[in-house]
Amino acid sequence: MSKQKNADPADVPQSAECENDTEAVDGDSQSSTLADNGKTTTSSEAEPTDAPVEGGQSEDLEKVSLEPTEVEQLKTEVDGLTEKLINLESQLNEAQRDVAYAKAETQTVMRRGREDATRAVNRAKRDLLTRLMLVADTFHRTSSELEKIEKDERTDVIVTAVQVAIKEFDKVLSGEGLELSNPVGEAFDPQFHEAQATVPSESAEAGTILDVLRVGYLLDGSVLRAPQVVVAAEVQKERDEASDDV
């Protein structure tokens, strides 16, 4: 028969306490686990979703998110920009009108300047040619007088030289647009001729120029100096016959 070893009474309580402590630890761990699970579930339910909103919904959310004050501010900015654009268009139109007016004014000034310059040149030209006409008159009178003298070998050379000089002088005047007017045998025209006397003539028709006392000149077709002429008049035959009968 074997002897059974008596158990140490001190050992029993310690093992029991250990078992109790283990069970307590296990219970605490289970309760803590449940508590953690509960917190996790609660936190997952409380967190908002980050899933993106598709299509126009995001734009609608952005539009809705604008505050009324922001919308009013944007409208004010748009109105300000529109007003500035209108002002700029008005300034551009005004500048274009000013440029057109300045261009027209410049063209007018240039045209008037050219016309004034042309008139001044023509006036100076007329004045110069008027003085040269007096020289030409002297030459022509000299030529007429030379035609009346008796010619010999010596005088013929002088007369010929003077006549050549007069012809050259007339060519110079003609080159400047001055044309000699010596209308002998032409019909009298008061616009181009200056009558100095009328002489009855049976050989010429009434109104015909019989003689030229002073030649005239035309400048570019216009009368610069009208020739002084003698005009033929109609012969009074009936009055002469009546006087003879008396």
Residue 58, both tokens: 């995001």
For residue 191, give the CATH number of its domain: 2.30.22.10
pLDDT band at 240 (very low <50, low <70, confident <90, very high): low
Residue at 164 is within a domain: no
| 3-state SS, residue 216 | strand
pTM of the model: 0.50
> Which domain does 219 fall in, by range?
179-237
List alpha helices for the chain, DSSP H.
11-46, 56-65, 68-148, 153-175, 237-245
Average confidence (pLDDT) over 50-59: 48
Give 166 or 8, the one with higher predicted confidence: 166
Q: Of the candidates 245, 229, 220, 137, which has an alpha carbon nearest to the alpha carbon of residue 183?
A: 229
pLDDT tens digits for range 171-193: 888 888 888 888 998 999 998 99
Average confidence (pLDDT) over 39-54: 44
| 3-state SS, residue 224 | strand
pLDDT for the residue 115: 93
Residue at 186 is within a domain: yes
Look up residue 150 and give its DSSP letter.
P
The residues near 130 (Cβ < 8 Å, ≥ 6 apart) are 224, 225
pLDDT band at 117 (very low <50, low <70, confident <90, very high): very high
pLDDT tens digits for range 62-110: 555 667 788 888 888 888 899 899 989 999 999 999 999 999 999 999 9
Q: Into how many domains does the chain fold?
A: 1
Average confidence (pLDDT) over 37-59: 45
Judged against a pLDDT cut of 90, whether residue 236 lies above it is answered with no
Residue at 11 is within a domain: no
Residue at 141 is within a domain: no
Residue at 55 is within a domain: no
Average confidence (pLDDT) over 228-236: 88
Residue at 91 is within a domain: no
Residue at 73 is within a domain: no
Residue at 66 is within a domain: no
Residue 32, both tokens: 């803590």
